[in-house]
Amino acid sequence: MNLIEIENKIKEKALLTQEEIDFFLTCICQIATNIVNHPTYENTCDTLQGLIGKYLFNLGVKIYPCITNKCITPNCNGHSFIVATFNKSDNYLIDPSFIQYLILDDNYKDIFINHLKIISKSPFYYAKNINEHLLLEFLKKGFYKLTNEFAYMYGNAFYQSSVNILDTTVLNNLSGEYFITQFLQGNEILRDYDYPSISSKI
Domain boundaries, the chain: 3-183
Q: Is 36 exposed, middle or buried (0-12, 13-18, 19+ CB in 10 A)?
A: middle
8 A C-beta contact, residue 151 and residue 163: no
DSSP the chain: --HHHHHHHHHTTPPPPHHHHHHHHHHHHHHHHHHH--SS-TT-HHHHHHHHHHHHHHHT-EEEEEEHHHHT-TTS---EEEEEEETTTEEEEE-GGGHHHHHTGGG---EEETTEEEE---HHHHHHHHHHHHHHHHHHHSEEE--HHHHHHHHHHHHTT--SSBTT---PPPPHHHHHHHHTT--PPP--TTPPPP-TT-
Name the average pLDDT for the chain.
96
Alpha-carbon span 166 to 71, nearest angstrom: 22
- Give phi and psi for 74, each to the nearest 5: -60, -25
Encode pLDDT of 94-138 as tens digits: 999 999 999 999 999 999 999 999 999 999 999 999 999 999 999
What pairs with residue 85 in β-bridges? 62, 91
pLDDT along the chain (202 residues), means of 10: 93 96 97 96 96 96 98 96 97 98 94 96 97 97 98 98 96 98 97 86 51
Amino acid 202: pLDDT: 45
